[in-house]
Amino acid sequence: MIVVHHLNDSRSQRILWLLEELKLPYEIKHYARDATTRLAPAELKAVHPLGKSPVITDGDMTVIESGAIIDYVIRRHAGGRLQPDPSTPAYDHYQQWMHYSEGSAMLPLMLFMYVGRLGEAGAPLHPRLESEIANHLGYVDGALAGKDWILGSEFSG
């Protein structure tokens, strides 16, 4: 059974969504961040040395990084669902969007969240971050123009 090592306020929600969408059985092991440092507890570092989430364990296999976890779950447990045929151009677009969401798109969102915790000290950074977020949302909006889903008519991982 897949175990999702879920750290509060982390990106493991994306993994839980995937498992629910696929109707796969899973277990959640909850971890709480330190209220002062916002770091993961030692118990999560025992699962993976970085102490980051999401992390899944599936038998003897431990998988980290959202994109890698999604790829692993779909390849090993989805029975061909939620992924285009790897021999098609649609698969290349699928991979691009998978990595875009955790790479290019995530940085300005994370910075905005952390800078927001600085209060007035972070105010000078807000215009630049808001501009970057608007740029990314415009890109996604343009990619969705005239389509139901990012890959067209197919819902995917």
In the structure, what pLDDT confidence band is assigned to residue 70 with cuts at 50, 70 and 90? very high
Quickly count: other Cβ atoms within 10 Å of residue 18's Cβ.
Answer: 21
Query: Pairing between strand 55-58 and 61-64?
Result: antiparallel
Q: pLDDT value at position 156?
A: 87
In a shared domain, residues 28 and 66: yes
In a shared domain, residues 73 and 93: no
Half-sphere exposure of 6 (CA within 13 A, CB side): 16
Whether the pLDDT of residue 133 is over 90: the answer is: yes
Mean pLDDT over each residue of the chain, to the nearest integer: 91
Residue from 17, 7, 13 nearest 39 by CA: 7
Q: pLDDT value at position 127?
A: 92
Whether the pLDDT of residue 140 is over 90: the answer is: yes
Domain assignment present for 69 = yes
Q: pLDDT value at position 31?
A: 93
Domain assignment present for 71 = yes
Domain assignment present for 82 = no
Q: pLDDT value at position 153?
A: 81
Structural domains in the chain (count): 2
Domain assignment present for 149 = no
Distances (CA, A) of 134 to 103, 113, 141, 143, 147: 16, 15, 10, 14, 20
Domain assignment present for 60 = yes
Which range of residues forms the domain containing residue 17? 2-77
In a shared domain, residues 62 and 113: no
The stretch 132-151 carries a mean pLDDT of 92
Both structure tokens of 16? 């839980």
Whether the pLDDT of residue 101 is over 90: the answer is: no
Domain assignment present for 154 = no
DSSP 149: B
pLDDT in tens, 27-50: 999 999 888 888 889 899 899 888
Give the separation between CA 42 and CA 50, rounded to whole angstroms: 10
